[in-house]
């Protein structure tokens, strides 16, 4: 299998050119305010499964933006798949490939080695190439020239305190690593509240890679070097959002997705590497001690987060391409861009989950339930109690299910993505006095204000599978099904009864 169906995209503009060719990019010449209006328009387009957006006349407080804004880049599943380099129907195969990469098996002879060629190529494509005069430093603003107001930073929702950088790729490395280290670098998307010309708040949740690096630097009393890329090739952006194991650097992994070595460059004023072809890079230091109250901002849950202190970054340089593009988005009640990305990552992660819990046939994390708070899982059930085993395996073995407070388990004749199917299974195969598993005092997303304590709450497992063996003493229902020959006869009759094919 080849890793990609599409050519590699070396930067954001190459990807936009591809989308344009597909008729999947809309240029907007009408003036649109970066305060609220851009969010309202973007939401409508996203809900309609519409194209990526390029705002050429964005403005704020009467002043026209000095560069175009790009939004809704990953607001449709087809564009997330394209960003991963594959056709939408091949995301599952890419997931198989990524799962196989995690399991290095000994090579057995030349034929076997050749059959593993995509994996060898994938391994080679993680070695970065260091570029000396990178496009992302065609313009380099330092000292008094540093001013975040040069960027068309959005204010997404009413009541928010300041403009918010919504698509920052925040690059950090642990102490005791070299300035040109790319293997230990972490890249995560952590929103950034602007605090005037040259300061911003970095809002990484406690369990994120960036937060762990910051704790390590702060423990030594040192400010941490930080670089923030805004607008990069789609593989780099999506690698930053994927929940990769801590030992795997997103910058290197982006090469696996792109099928090409990552192009990196030394940052201009901080000891870090940055994506050489990024549109804009902010460089600076996250203070070891200084924090500022962040928010309230609209979040992916559909509510405003509470105000909390997070570290302040002092910006030492803004570097950019000669004609930069500013990448932006909003987060809000699903669907938003992160929830669309999450629904594609669902299919990407399935092969790996199946390797760990083989009875699992399919999983759906409904975007409407914030993409992780609820899961519907189908299993190939063979023995009594197996639905509970699947729930416990998901909660116990896979960190991404830590905050999944509801798991519904169904049989594999149920389509986990179909509300009609799942509701039928819950209505006909589940009894609340026997089939609920309730847990208390488990880890819960601290953003979940419904839990009794912050960060600690309950979980519920709903076993909506057919009951077998000792699970029931009752005669169980038999599913109604028409015979195939009758269906075939009706197929033949149909056009004679309904001319247009539709019953009317």
Ligand X SMILES: Cc1cc2nc3c(=O)[nH]c(=O)nc-3n(C[C@H](O)[C@H](O)[C@H](O)COP(=O)(O)O)c2cc1C
- Which residues bind to ligand X, rule: CB under 6 A? 166-167, 186, 188-191, 203-205, 208-210, 241, 243, 329, 331, 337-338, 341
Beta carbons within 8 Å of 243's beta carbon, 6+ residues apart: 399, 400
- Are 28 and 51 in contact, with CB atoms under 8 Å apart? no
DSSP assignment of 270-290 equals SSSEEETT-SEEEEEEEEEEE
Residues forming the active site: 299
In the sheet that 63-64 helps form, which strands lie side by side, from edge to edge? 32-33, 58-60, 63-64
The conformation of residue 136, written as its DSSP 8-state character, comes to G
Rounded Cα distance between 501 and 504, Å, is 9
Question: How far apart are CB 151 and ligand X at their closest, in Å?
Answer: 16
- b/e map of 324-354 (b: 16 or more CB within 10 Å)? bbbbbbbbbebbbbbbbbbbbbbbbbbbbbb
Tell me the CA distances in angstroms from 65 to 46, 62, 124, 135, 442, one per residue in order: 23, 9, 41, 21, 47
Token reading at 262: 């990552």
In the three-class reduction of DSSP (H, G, I as helix; E, B as strand; rest coil), residue 487 is classed as: helix
CA 237 → CA 171, 188, 209, 467, distances in Å?
12, 9, 16, 45
Which CB, 345 or 364, lies closer to ligand X? 345
Dmax of the chain from CA atoms? 82
Q: Which residues contact 417 (CB under 8 A, 6 or more apart)?
A: 364, 376
As a whole number of angstroms, the distance between CA 98 and CA 87 comes to 16
DSSP 8-state symbol, 368: G
Nearest to residue 376, comparing CAs of 361, 358, 356, 386?
361
Instruction: Return the SS3 of 63.
Output: strand
For residue 419, the SS3 value is helix
Using only C-alpha atoms, the chain has a radius of gyration, in whole angstroms, of 25
Closest CA to 135 of 326, 9, 270, 323: 323
Q: Which of 372, 343, 336, 366 is nearest to 73 (CA)?
A: 336
Q: Are 248 and 240 in contact (CB under 8 A)?
A: no
**8-state DSSP, 184:** S
* 3-state SS, residue 202: strand
């Amino acid at each position: 299998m080849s890793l990609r169906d599409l050519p590699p995209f070396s930067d954001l503009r190459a990807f936009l050119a591809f989308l344009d060719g597909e008729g999947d990019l809309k240029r907007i010449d009408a003036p649109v305010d970066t305060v609220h209006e851009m969010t309202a328009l973007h939401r409508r387009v996203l809900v309609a499964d519409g194209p990526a957006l390029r705002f050429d006349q964005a403005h704020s407080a009467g002043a026209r933006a000095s560069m175009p804004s790009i939004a809704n880049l990953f607001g449709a599943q087809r564009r997330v798949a394209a960003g991963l380099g594959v056709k939408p129907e091949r995301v599952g195969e890419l997931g198989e490939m990524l799962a196989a990469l995690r399991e290095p098996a000994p090579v057995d002879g030349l034929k076997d080695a050749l059959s593993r060629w995509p994996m060898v190529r994938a391994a080679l494509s993680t070695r970065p190439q260091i570029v000396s005069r990178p496009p992302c430093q065609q313009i380099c603003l330092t000292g008094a020239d540093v001013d975040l107001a040069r960027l068309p930073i959005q204010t997404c929702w009413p009541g928010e305190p300041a403009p918010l950088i919504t698509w920052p790729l925040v690059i950090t490395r642990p102490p005791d690593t070299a300035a040109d280290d790319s293997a230990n670098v972490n890249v995560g998307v952590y929103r950034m509240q602007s605090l005037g010309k040259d300061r911003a708040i970095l809002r990484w949740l406690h369990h994120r890679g960036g937060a762990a690096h910051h704790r390590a630097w702060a423990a030594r009393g040192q400010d941490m070097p930080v670089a923030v890329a805004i607008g990069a090739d789609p593989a780099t952006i999506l690698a930053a959002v994927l929940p990769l194991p801590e030992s795997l650097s997103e910058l290197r992994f982006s090469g696996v997705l792109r099928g090409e070595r990552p192009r990196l460059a030394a940052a201009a004023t901080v000891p870090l590497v940055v994506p050489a072809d990024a549109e804009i890079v902010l460089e600076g230091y996250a203070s070891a001690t200084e924090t500022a109250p962040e928010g309230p901002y609209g979040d992916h849950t559909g509510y405003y987060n509470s105000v909390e202190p997070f570290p302040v970054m002092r910006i030492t340089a803004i570097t950019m391409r000669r004609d930069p593009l500013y990448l932006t988005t909003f987060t809000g009640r699903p669907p938003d861009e992160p929830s669309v990305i999450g629904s594609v990552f669902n299919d990407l992660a399935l092969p790996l989950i199946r390797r760990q819990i083989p009875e699992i046939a399919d999983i759906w994390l409904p975007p409407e339930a914030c993409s992780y708070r609820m899961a519907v899982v189908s299993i190939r059930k063979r023995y009594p109690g197996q639905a509970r085993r699947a729930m416990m395996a998901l909660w116990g073995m896979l960190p991404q299910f830590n905050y999944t407070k509801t798991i519904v388990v169904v049989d594999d004749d149920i389509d986990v993505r179909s509300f009609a199917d799942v509701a039928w299974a819950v209505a006909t195969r589940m009894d609340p006095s026997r089939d609920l598993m309730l847990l208390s005092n488990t880890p819960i997303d601290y953003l979940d204000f419904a839990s009794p304590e912050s960060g600690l709450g309950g979980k519920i497992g709903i076993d909506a599978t057919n009951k077998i063996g000792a699970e029931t003493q009752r005669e169980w229902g038999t599913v109604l099904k028409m015979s195939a020959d009758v269906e075939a006869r009706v197929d033949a009759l149909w056009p004679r009864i309904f001319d247009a094919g539709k019953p009317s």
